[in-house]
Amino acid sequence: MRALSLLVLLAMALAAPAAAKGIVADVDDHLVEIRTDFAGQDILVFGAIDGPGDVILVMRGPAGRVAVHQKERFAGIWVNAQSIEFDDVPSLYGVASSRPLFDILPNEVLDRYQLGIGRLQFETAEEEPYGIGSFRIALVQQKRKQGLYADRVGRVTFIGETLFRANLHLPSNVPTGTFLIDVYLVRDGRIVDAQNMPLVISKVGFGADLYKYANARSIAPRFGYGISAVLVSLLTGWLAHLAFRKR
């Protein structure tokens, strides 16, 4: 399947005569399904460029609002004291590149495109509260610890001069929703072309149904979910008793 896709691309690359686009890329599967046996997954991004250059891939999960709490000692106990809310925080952020980022692009470009987890910018609701810097750093560090932010989720490797491929790793706790993968072509310290493509991560099957009922907007399905949960437990408890009853 993957080999076939690469072949198709190879054909495309060879056939494309002085294409207007400097880079074309695709994902082997635009839908990642989370089933009950999901334990993380690698997705394959492949493509071609129209001549020598470097390639950077950036994967972003749907953005949302996140509160960062800081603990302080209060009467001997550590409690959540100050907290700052950040907007537009990507639920997942990962970069893959053909060479280390700082070797391919100057700092100001990396900053402008927010390439690398150290360069991400988050909006705050309040205007720059005191000590916000440490909260920003903490946010990135926590996300990193959870395996959701990474500077190297994979390596972009070249096959010949124009074909490239990269495996991007999605951790088992990957958030769901529509992801965006940006692909950049870099030459001489400048981004010369870019493309983006969506990637949908969604729960399917039994687990998805459970989630749907458990989080339904109206109360009736949630009531049904609770009742079913109790019935399952009653049944397992009863079966367990039957199984282990002393005869």
Partner 1 sequence: MLGALLDWLLSFQVYLPIAELSVSVLLLLGLGGGVGFLSGLFGVGGGFLMTPLLIFIGVPPAVAVATQSNQTVATSVSGVLAHWSRDNVDFKMGFVLLSGGVFGSLVGVALFSILRRFGQIDLVINIAYVILLGSIGLMMLAEATRALRRVRRAQRGAMAPRKLHQHVWVHGLPLKMRFKKSRLYISAIMPIGIGFVVGILSALLGVGGAFLIVPAMIYLVGMPTSIVVGTSLFQIIFVAAVTTILQSMENRTVDVLLAFVLTIGSVIGAQFGGRIGARLPGEQIRFLLALLILSVAVGLCYGLVATPDDLFSLQPLMGSR
Dist. CA 73–CA 79, nearest whole Å = 6
Contacts with partner 1 in 148-207 (CB under 8 A)?
172-173, 203, 207
- Kindly calculate the radius of gyration of the chain based on its CA atoms and give it in whole angstroms: 23
Residue 236 interacts with partner 1 (CB under 8 A): yes or no: yes
Indicate which single residue of 2, 31, 40, 51 sits in contact with partner 1 (rule: CB under 8 A).
40
Dist. CA 58–CA 49, nearest whole Å = 17
Residue 57 interacts with partner 1 (CB under 8 A): yes or no: no
Residue 79 interacts with partner 1 (CB under 8 A): yes or no: yes
Dist. CA 92–CA 24, nearest whole Å = 24
Stretch that binds partner 1, among 45-53, 87-95, 151-159, 188-196 (CB under 8 A): 87-95
Residue 226 interacts with partner 1 (CB under 8 A): yes or no: yes
Residue 70 interacts with partner 1 (CB under 8 A): yes or no: yes
Residue 92 interacts with partner 1 (CB under 8 A): yes or no: no
Dist. CA 60–CA 122, nearest whole Å = 14
Structure tokens at 96: 């893959």
Contacts of 154 (CB under 8 A, 6+ apart): 42, 57, 94, 96, 166, 167, 168, 169
For 244, the 3-state DSSP assignment is helix
- Which residues here bind partner 1, judged by CB under 8 A? 34-40, 63-73, 76-80, 83, 85, 87-88, 91, 125, 135, 138-139, 141-143, 145, 172-173, 203, 207-208, 210-211, 214-215, 219, 222-223, 225-230, 232-234, 236-238, 240-241, 243-245
